[in-house]
A and B are shown apart, each in its own frame.
Chain A
Amino acid sequence: RKEVEQDPGPFNVPEGATVAFNCTYSNSASQSFFWYRQDCRKEPKLLMSVYSSGNEDGRFTAQLNRASQYISLLIRDSKLSDSATYLCVALKDGNAGNMLTFGGGTRLMVKP
């Protein structure tokens, strides 16, 4: 079982729709969480960090529930340019540094 699990999708939504992605993690030692966005054959790009208090950045809202070991990402007013794979990522403290553990990614396709 993967340490971080996501629904692979794809999620096909029309422009302007609201879409939500969920993610669960199994390692309670994970310290921090992030959502990254990855376009085809490109590098993962940090979208936002995820906090228990929830955080919002424009059309994007992320939430962490440590008790349920559950992370969410909400995208409002979807744009065509939001089409990408969204990676749920946990950061685990290593012996002397930090390593990222990626979920398998959720693919989003926003259609006109």
Chain B
Amino acid sequence: AAGVIQSPRHLIKEKRETATLKCYPIPRHDTVYWYQQGPGQDPQFLISFYEKMQSDKGSIPDRFSAQQFSDYHSELNMSSLELGDSALYFCASSGRLAGGYNEQFFGPGTRLTVL
């Protein structure tokens, strides 16, 4: 079965640079979630989108923004990168399928390293 696709899988940036992470949800899923997992930590919710509208906002820094496009893919834009932004960034999706919106399925993640 098709899963959530994230790109790139690995990204290395320098401080103060910008980065864009992409997420392609499972087909027919209309809700996308972004999570950040720092080293040795559990995933922290950043932001979510439903039907191209922002639905919830968590601990996302003001330097980050995100959007969901008409094909339901989402992009997380990160500016003025800091060393502390180095983490695994997961995208998850859910939709009106078996399990409903409650069950979120995660992509493989993008590992961002800020030097």
**A17 on the B face (CB < 8 A):** no
> Which B residue sits closest to A48, measured CB to CB?
B103
Q: Which of B20-77 contact A (CB under 8 A)?
A: 31, 33, 35, 41-45, 48, 50, 53, 55-56, 58
**Minimum CB–CB distance for A99 against chain B, Å:** 4
Main secondary structure of the interface of B (DSSP, over half): strand
Chain A residues within 8 Å of chain B by Cβ, number = 24
**Minimum CB–CB distance for A13 against chain B, Å:** 22
Q: Across the interface, do A95 and B42 meet the contact criterion of CB distance under 8 Å?
A: no
> Which A residue sits closest to B102, measured CB to CB?
A32
**Minimum CB–CB distance for B4 against chain A, Å:** 8
Q: Across the interface, do B90 and A44 meet the contact criterion of CB distance under 8 Å?
A: yes
CA distance A87 to B31 in the complex (A): 22
Q: Which of A23-39 contact B (CB under 8 A)?
A: 31-32, 34
Q: Across the interface, do A43 and B56 meet the contact criterion of CB distance under 8 Å?
A: no
- Which residues of the partner chain A approach B90 to less than 8 Å between Cβ atoms? 43-44
B residues in contact (CB < 8 Å) with A: 31, 33, 35, 41-45, 48, 50, 53, 55-56, 58, 88, 90, 92, 94, 99, 101-109, 111
Closest 4 CB pairs of A and B: A97-B55, A94-B56, A102-B42, A43-B106
**6 additional A-B residue pairs with CB within 8 Å, beyond A46-B104, A104-B42:** A34-B103, A42-B109, A43-B106, A49-B99, A96-B55, A102-B42
